[in-house]
A and B are shown apart, each in its own frame.
Chain A
Amino acid sequence: MKDKDEKKIEKRELKINRRTLLKGALAGAATTMLPLNRADASFKDFWESFFQKHFREMTVAEKQQVVQRLEQEYERKYKKAIQIGIEPAMPGVLFGYGLDLSRCIGCRTCVYACVHENNQSRDPQIQWIQVLRFKHGDLMNWEKAEKYYDPKQVPEPGYFYMPVQCQQCENPACTRACPTQATWKEPDGIVVVDYNWCIGCRYCMAACPYGARHFNWGEPGIKPADINPVTHYLGNRPRYRGVVEKCTFCIQRTRKGRYTACVEACPVGARKFGNLLDPKSEVRYAMEHKRTFRLKDDLGTHPKFFYFFDFEAGERFSG
């Protein structure tokens, strides 16, 4: 009796030899990779997205193939045609930004223009531009900076406002923190994120000294009707849950020569945008004629976002 049992056990043990174990392990591992949460995607799409090359290593044809796949994916998801551009950086262009602190009135028009242009999630709320309020004479006192100010009217006497967004550093700390090279600096100076490569570790957010990167903690909440269908692969295309996003100087607009959405929205003309390599650009004019500074310049990140001022904030406003 005892012998029989032992033999059975022996037989069973013998059945699990090395080959079957490896087969089983491989099959098990494969099932974990199956796109069970994306039942609408075909296996081909899944295969292609899983083995998608790094954006910078792709040829134009490969990029177009990827974009086509993504456009179909978005159309299934949002029931809306979304066009994804892959315009490369223009040669001889280094984008720079100027912001006149003495004119900004803290109305947050730019914040909402950005949200609409760049398809940020409405709920949970993500805003790429954060407007900080400082007391007069208290510049750079970050402890006392107020982000949630909500008066009936702006500008408030005794305060000035400082919008902060991605500073598009020339020496960015965030890109070096990324373990998957999902974020990098483009030749025209824009720091971009590939949402299909981002693994959501948020190291870049920890590295960024400006709080300019934002994480999709939940599935981005945006109504299909609100989606801006003109997008760029590295810019405002709809994001996924669990990826990091940030200001891209409206890459989908500026690579076609247009001004950014925040520049066109600002009601007081405090925002200036242009090519730093062009001596006639308005940003260069500001750098040459105004008292200009960069945020947290001492960190050596070399932002291409220049703040300037030329008179006392609030001086030119009446009640």
Chain B
Amino acid sequence: MGKKLIAAVLFLLLPLSFAYAAGQDYPLPNPKDIMARPAFPKADQGLWPCSQCHSGMPVNYKIRKLTMMHQDVVLKHMPGGWCFDCHNPTNRDTLKLFTGQTVSFDQSYLVCAQCHGFIFKEWKAGLHGKRIGMWNGKKTYYQCINCHWPHDPKFKSIKPFPAPIRPADIK
């Protein structure tokens, strides 16, 4: 029983460790070069810091549909996931890694990197995501949450700019 459990846990952790190892070979950009995290969505404005409400509250670990607050946060990311996969239950103004390590909201990309190691590596190499500034010097890295809303990270469709004028329509 014990051996089987250890084997199962190791097997489950294997892809994570691969992903983690894949993210290791490029240095992290200087924190100064990473773009500031975006403002909270309108419904959540004024809720920062989280501890102003959560510090006195008991922690409810039960997976449930939120009805009192944060109804706009519908998790469409990682099926079966829950707030405390990323948010730190003991200090709400921070995030946490699977290792238990606390991470500030400004370094949320470290949380993303736990599963998306290959993308994290490409981001550090400059391929995934976007960078603006100088191609041969100081640049600003967009961080994960500048483009992806972490609770529903898939991109939404947008309206395209107008099509070019057809030759037949030129007067």
Question: What is the interface of chain A, defined by CB distance below 8 A to chain B?
Answer: 93, 105-109, 111-112, 124-125, 127, 130, 147-155, 254, 257-259, 263-264, 266-269, 272-275, 281-282, 285-286, 289-290, 316-319
Q: What CA separation (Å) do A127 and B76 show in the bound complex?
A: 38
Q: Would B131 and A107 count as touching, CB distance under 8 A?
A: no
Identify the stretch in B4-12, B55-63, B151-159 within 8 Å (CB) of chain A at 4 or more residues.
B151-159
Q: Would A285 and B163 count as touching, CB distance under 8 A?
A: no
Q: Is B41 an interface residue (CB 8 A)?
A: no
Chain B residues closer than 8 Å to A317, beta-carbon distance: 154-157
**What distance in Å separates the Cβ of A79 from its nearest Cβ neighbour in chain B?**
28
Q: Is B162 an interface residue (CB 8 A)?
A: yes
Identify the stretch in B13-21, B42-50, B99-107, B133-141 within 8 Å (CB) of chain A at 4 or more residues.
B133-141
Cross-chain contact of A257 among B125, B127, B137 (Cβ < 8 A) = B137
Interface residues of B in 116-133 (CB under 8 A from A): 122, 125-133
Given the known interface contacts A257-B137, A258-B135, A285-B126, the answer about A148 and B166 at a Cβ–Cβ threshold of 8 Å is: yes
Q: Would A112 and B161 count as touching, CB distance under 8 A?
A: yes
Contact sample, A vs B, 11 pairs, CB 8 Å cutoff:
A107-B159, A111-B161, A125-B170, A154-B160, A257-B135, A258-B134, A267-B158, A269-B128, A272-B126, A285-B126, A318-B154
Chain B residues closer than 8 Å to A127, beta-carbon distance: 164
Q: Would B135 and A274 count as touching, CB distance under 8 A?
A: yes
Q: Would A124 and B155 count as touching, CB distance under 8 A?
A: no
Nearest-CB residue, chain B, relative to A256: B134
Q: Is B109 an interface residue (CB 8 A)?
A: no
Q: Is B165 an interface residue (CB 8 A)?
A: yes
**What distance in Å separates the Cβ of A141 from its nearest Cβ neighbour in chain B?**
20
Q: What CA separation (Å) do A285 and B126 show in the bound complex?
A: 8
Interface residues of B in 69-107 (CB under 8 A from A): 76
Q: Would A259 and B155 count as touching, CB distance under 8 A?
A: no
Q: Would A259 and B126 count as touching, CB distance under 8 A?
A: no
Q: Would A257 and B160 count as touching, CB distance under 8 A?
A: no
Q: Would A150 and B162 count as touching, CB distance under 8 A?
A: yes
Q: Would A254 and B155 count as touching, CB distance under 8 A?
A: no
Chain A residues closer than 8 Å to B147, beta-carbon distance: 267-269
Chain B residues closer than 8 Å to A147, beta-carbon distance: 163-164
Cross-chain contact of B129 among A153, A154, A269 (Cβ < 8 A) = A269
